[in-house]
Structure 1
């Protein structure tokens, strides 16, 4: 069922029968997948040759049974004394019959423990007596003869003296209309007590997750953040035509080097100008990083943005050289509301470094649909600086490892990584979404996906990429290169191959990307906690590992030196650390359309949400969790209501598709912090603690707890700034909050501000009296 849950939800008319087994099947899966076909819920461990019972389920099946025994199989539900329990009473499931295995190979002790003599076999000769397999599963017979699976006995937990079957809690939760999937476990808190924690995957279609108000609030929050960043940093701008206000590193919060930013912007500019556009529309033009470089080469340039202050800034710069930028038109609009611009026919539409601020994949699809409407045949859409979803964990692991103290345990590091992933407020997108778009929009005739340029490794070229969508392109020639496997291939191998064989077109598929190789390895080491215990050991282990990856920029230099054009994109097959490098003779590449393994990959559209994360997850959780708690309180005894809730985008699975309980993240990140709790004492500290509690959704916050360690981020920071302004009348800058990110430090800053205001007021009074 867990594997079925992540399948694309689309019509499959030729699929007539589905059989699920291996774990409990949620009712909503049956409700969707059983329509118009036979849906069988099967049960049986490997010890009974996999299948022991089967039940055909209908869409109305609220609690799916596991059915009745198949032929030559017997099912007994027994108590601890091996006596049958009455109908409706839970007991352990025992299996007998010809399908039973003889035992475990070379494991006589375990065989005797799990394969017991059948107490209901009347054979007098002991050696001829049949066996029963003790499953360790809880179940009960229903009145109609079907069996209901309740859960694993080893998933029974004891909390506050009560023995609890977590499967019953899961069954109640999955009946909530906003819940898609859930797992309930008992976890130990800091005091050593057991407490119940529910892990929830919300339904994307539910009222909470699809609430347009949440999306609008998210967009407005980004708008406020952009405005504030530009206003705060205007005085620091060295080149007004290259204003990189707000571009800071995720690792140390310092401004990204201007040289690296110019390379990043130049990459996108080069891709646009290569198309020689006369009319360009840029959706999300910001402070004009691209506009001021591209507009002089065009006849018309339309720039739209949600930030009024950004547009005012651009207009101020245009007034300095009005003739040079006379072709520029600006408008304040959202990406999904282009409106009257739709009357134009553009050669190129640019959506650069904007997608990450969209509230969900649906909004992205709407923005792309709007862009397609205004591109003329033969034009293209350039989507730049797209954050790569498959590298999401590698990115957060890399950042947290960089920031961690050497003594931090790997378990604590893992919790911090999980927290950052759950708190992610930006949209990350799988490259496969753009391949699948061809099915949704037949106007897209060709897709190019490219790694970003740059010799210096940074988060912009390690974890982001650009996409070119060609609209109704008329191509005279299709270039399909020979594909060679890149496993074990290094830079020198490629150089020798190209120089000696001089192929017209060749793709090396599955090369190791040297930019991200170490970060992906870090994810693996963090997961294998038995190998390393703390951050210091983890860093040492990473240094010792042999690095075999190829630097992507070196391949670009090689291709240019040998007269090749290079298409460098994420690999069509394998993990996120692999890339495909397609070399085509420059004169040949200019003649037609180059196909790469990734862009030829068969990708199914529909269920678009799986191609991106949910930036509204933390906001959704704040609304959903109180509802779930209240829902359970009405249906279960108080001691069965979980005290902790974690909302996930998906439940982690083992390689064989079952729930991986060991991979579930810790529920209470505030309790896992290394700082000792110190309560707020002064009025300012108490006020800040209250503001942080409301914004972060955490009950206990000490004055030395770091705002960002508690799950705070830029959008939440703007809320803190706004509430401080309302409460104290003090204009707190975002920079100050980043620099003074504990209540103790921030309270000191605010007290100083208040004293300065008092001194200023007293001085004004004295001067007024003197003037009087």
Structure 2
């Protein structure tokens, strides 16, 4: 009978029971207490905490406990070992075999086995001589207490026990998995939920599905060409510097209005033109990945020394090229290159546009052609995977000049994925809670576009020496479009050479409190700039967030849910980010920046500085504020809905077959989880 199968009360052992030997795994005081409880009717019982490796005939040492002397040990973290068998000598040593107060257990004596069969290299590594006596290096980490007792602290390697006692070396399993040709990276761990039957779990990164990524991009290209062909058929008269045809709302599937699109492009261009590379009359060299119909290009190209555009659709590129000629931009040349192109040395023209998917932009350029600004606006949602975005940012960083910018705009926020799915479901006016709940789940499950969390860019800039700062901003504007509600901009700045030394600036901070108002806040920040106002409830998405966070278990009707959401908003004062900025940026005296909250996406932060503060200093200040905020949150969570990858059963079968020829059956994976990449931040 197992101890776990006994009744909670009464003795498991007979009254005259004398000794209980516990071995094979670490003995915790809590488990020892359970054993003593099961032997409550055996007052003279002795519990022996047996320690010894298989290589040392199992029984090398032990600790002796009774009902009487267990009391002082019950509050400790570990049960000690205080006796060594007569034929055994046990010491704590370092890597070179010298005695240490904390190190690896070294077992010597006649108890030792002759060695491992047919494993000469392992024998040489594990069986060593010390002071003329043969010994075995255990790999168990421990220490010797002043009283002479030993404590087992863990392992010096990745060896652990699974499935009732089989010893496995996780590093060896990881090496065997990595030897499979389609595995790019892996991490092996043990399922710790059930200590009595632990299993091996592998987190596997398979080789980049570059062919699949290319196919996905090709599918988007075909779709865009189809939409463009349909638009050209039915619409001929259009302002080609403001060609927003094809832009539809996810809420009602209707075309977004001209007024809302004008606000969207105006706020985008305003944020770009505010960058340092345009100040003091500078004319930057610009690369735009996904230049589209030229809504950004036509507004910014006159301010540029050179403007290079890349896009998927040849017809759109032709349209931009022809319209550039009609505008008589003598300094502008728009060209189409389908595969590979290098800047001619004698070419001094300002603008070029190329037909190219984003993952091929490095084939269109050479590293001799670096840019002050690389723009990728409202394009990343069509990337096939998170790894694709990672690779593009990594490659783009090589093309940015020191002190230049990588502007990733109109990014869909992964942290607001459920809120967006809720907004789309609410737009269909569901009549029941069940219908609403099912619609939210369906919207999330069928999501095809790429979403990414703002904190990815913050952590990337923190750990990548090529970047000086990264700041993630809410979109500007008052329109209730999905762009303003659920998207953000990431502005990353390349490190300057030589790196500028900026004196430390004290940043005064305050959290938004219930019933706060902008009038009261203004009186607080004015004498204490720079000032960071944290955790402001975002009025744009407050109601949607409330619904998305509700249990939706049928305890409320739809009208009751809406009434509760309204009451919640009235209780906690909300603020529209655009209105906050307009009120705080008084007469150009102050500069207010609307930043994403990296810990609570339904909130936002505002940094207020003196308008005369150098922009590089403002960016570093904002970056520091966001880094501090994100460091308190979990860094191991997913950054994107396309960070994990579905792997075919055939690939998993081949991996299992590969391992079955290399490791014992009891080691074969209990579970494997596939990832597109493993995010490493430090």
Q: Distance in 2 between matches of 1:329 and 1:391?
A: 36
Cα pair distance change 1:403/1:615, threshold 3 Å: farther
> Equivalent residue of 1:302, what SS?
strand
Q: TM-score, normalised by structure 2?
A: 0.60
1:484 equivalent in structure 2: 510
Cα deviations by residue, 1:307-348 (Å, 9 ceiling, x for unpaired): 223212212222312425342111122323222243212111
Q: State whether residues 359 and 615 of structure 1, in contact with CA within 8 Å, keep that contact through their aligned partners in structure 2.
A: no
How far apart are residue 359 of structure 1 and its match? 1.6
Q: TM-score, normalised by structure 1?
A: 0.53
Cα pair distance change 1:492/1:412, threshold 3 Å: same
- Residues 1:529 and 2:553 are matched in the alignment: yes
- Residues 1:441 and 2:467 are matched in the alignment: no
Which of 567, 570, 578 is the equivalent residue of 2:596? 570
2:231 equivalent in structure 1: 233
How far apart are residue 437 of structure 1 and its match? 1.2
Q: State whether residues 462 and 627 of structure 2, in contact with CA within 8 Å, keep that contact through their aligned partners in structure 1.
A: no
Aligned counterparts, 1:685-704, within 5 A: none
Cα pair distance change 1:75/1:355, threshold 3 Å: farther
1:70 equivalent in structure 2: 31
How far apart are residue 288 of structure 1 and its match? 0.8
> Equivalent residue of 1:593, what SS?
helix
Aligned counterparts, 1:639-654, within 5 A: none
Q: Distance in 2 between matches of 1:54 and 1:434?
A: 49
1:273 equivalent in structure 2: 273
Query: How many residue pairs were aligned?
Result: 465
> Equivalent residue of 1:579, what SS?
strand
How far apart are residue 76 of structure 1 and its match? 13
Cα deviations by residue, 1:141-179 (Å, 9 ceiling, x for unpaired): x999769xxxxxxxxxxxxxxxxxxxxxxxxxxxxx999
Q: Distance in 1 between matches of 2:556 and 2:520?
A: 36
Aligned counterparts, 1:307-346, within 5 A: 307-324=313-330, 325-326=332-333, 327-337=350-360, 338-339=362-363, 340-346=365-371
1:224 equivalent in structure 2: 222
How far apart are residue 242 of structure 1 and its match? 1.2
How far apart are residue 71 of structure 1 and its match? 1.8
Cα pair distance change 1:310/1:180, threshold 3 Å: farther
Q: Distance in 1 between matches of 2:307 and 2:216?
A: 28
Aligned counterparts, 1:132-281, within 5 A: 205-206=205-206, 210-234=208-232, 235-236=234-235, 238-274=238-274, 275-276=277-278, 277-281=283-287
How far apart are residue 432 of structure 1 and its match? 0.9
How far apart are residue 545 of structure 1 and its match? 3.5
Q: State whether residues 206 and 675 of structure 2, in contact with CA within 8 Å, keep that contact through their aligned partners in structure 1.
A: no
Q: Distance in 1 between matches of 2:459 and 2:162?
A: 48
Q: Which has the larger radius of gyration?
A: 2
> Equivalent residue of 1:584, what SS?
strand
Q: State whether residues 202 and 649 of structure 1, in contact with CA within 8 Å, keep that contact through their aligned partners in structure 2.
A: no
Cα pair distance change 1:498/1:317, threshold 3 Å: farther
Q: Distance in 1 between matches of 2:452 and 2:31?
A: 45
Which of 352, 363, 367 is the equivalent residue of 2:392? 367
How far apart are residue 54 of structure 1 and its match? 10
2:157 equivalent in structure 1: none
> Equivalent residue of 2:268, what SS?
helix
Cα deviations by residue, 1:54-84 (Å, 9 ceiling, x for unpaired): 9869xxxxxxxx999932434999xxxxxxx
Q: Distance in 2 between matches of 1:393 and 1:387?
A: 12
Cα pair distance change 1:541/1:550, threshold 3 Å: same
Cα pair distance change 1:600/1:609, threshold 3 Å: closer
Cα pair distance change 1:505/1:616, threshold 3 Å: closer
1:554 equivalent in structure 2: 579
1:466 equivalent in structure 2: 489
Q: Distance in 2 between matches of 1:604 and 1:559?
A: 28
How far apart are residue 530 of structure 1 and its match? 4.4
Cα deviations by residue, 1:660-719 (Å, 9 ceiling, x for unpaired): xxxxxxxxxxxxxxxxxxxxxxxxxxxxxxxxxxxxxxxxxxxxxxxxxxxxxxxxxxxx
- Residues 1:613 and 2:641 are matched in the alignment: yes
Q: State whether residues 203 and 674 of structure 2, in contact with CA within 8 Å, keep that contact through their aligned partners in structure 1.
A: no
> Equivalent residue of 2:420, what SS?
helix
2:438 equivalent in structure 1: 415
Q: Distance in 1 between matches of 2:453 and 2:532?
A: 22
How far apart are residue 245 of structure 1 and its match? 2.2
Q: Distance in 1 between matches of 2:429 and 2:242?
A: 33
Cα pair distance change 1:145/1:362, threshold 3 Å: closer
Q: Distance in 1 between matches of 2:188 and 2:325?
A: 54
Cα pair distance change 1:626/1:543, threshold 3 Å: farther
How far apart are residue 445 of structure 1 and its match? 0.6
> Equivalent residue of 1:566, what SS?
strand
> Equivalent residue of 2:612, what SS?
helix
Q: State whether residues 643 and 675 of structure 2, in contact with CA within 8 Å, keep that contact through their aligned partners in structure 1.
A: no
- Residues 1:520 and 2:518 are matched in the alignment: no
Q: Distance in 1 between matches of 2:511 and 2:352?
A: 48
How far apart are residue 251 of structure 1 and its match? 0.6
Q: Distance in 1 between matches of 2:165 and 2:246?
A: 62
Cα pair distance change 1:606/1:440, threshold 3 Å: farther
Cα pair distance change 1:519/1:589, threshold 3 Å: farther
Q: Distance in 2 between matches of 1:144 and 1:342?
A: 54
Q: Distance in 2 between matches of 1:306 and 1:75?
A: 73
Q: Distance in 2 between matches of 1:144 and 1:611?
A: 34
What is the RMSD of the two structures over their aligned residues, measured on CA atoms?
A: 4.4
2:423 equivalent in structure 1: 398
Q: State whether residues 284 and 335 of structure 1, in contact with CA within 8 Å, keep that contact through their aligned partners in structure 2.
A: yes
- Residues 1:291 and 2:291 are matched in the alignment: no
> Equivalent residue of 1:73, what SS?
helix
2:121 equivalent in structure 1: none
- Residues 1:425 and 2:448 are matched in the alignment: yes
Q: Distance in 2 between matches of 1:54 and 1:299?
A: 76
Q: Distance in 1 between matches of 2:577 and 2:249?
A: 21
Cα deviations by residue, 1:504-561 (Å, 9 ceiling, x for unpaired): 2111111111111111101122x2424324x444334434443421010111211232
Q: Structure 1, unaligned stretches of length 5 or more?
A: 1-42, 58-65, 78-96, 100-141, 148-176, 184-200, 632-646, 651-772
Cα pair distance change 1:333/1:417, threshold 3 Å: same
Cα deviations by residue, 1:722-742 (Å, 9 ceiling, x for unpaired): xxxxxxxxxxxxxxxxxxxxx
> Equivalent residue of 2:359, what SS?
coil
> Equivalent residue of 2:584, what SS?
helix
Which of 583, 589, 599 is the equivalent residue of 2:608? 583
Q: State whether residues 206 and 674 of structure 2, in contact with CA within 8 Å, keep that contact through their aligned partners in structure 1.
A: no
Q: Distance in 2 between matches of 1:428 and 1:328?
A: 31
Q: State whether residues 359 and 616 of structure 1, in contact with CA within 8 Å, keep that contact through their aligned partners in structure 2.
A: no
Aligned counterparts, 1:503-518, within 5 A: 503-518=528-543
> Equivalent residue of 2:216, what SS?
helix
> Equivalent residue of 1:576, what SS?
coil
How far apart are residue 369 of structure 1 and its match? 1.6
Q: Distance in 2 between matches of 1:425 and 1:450?
A: 24
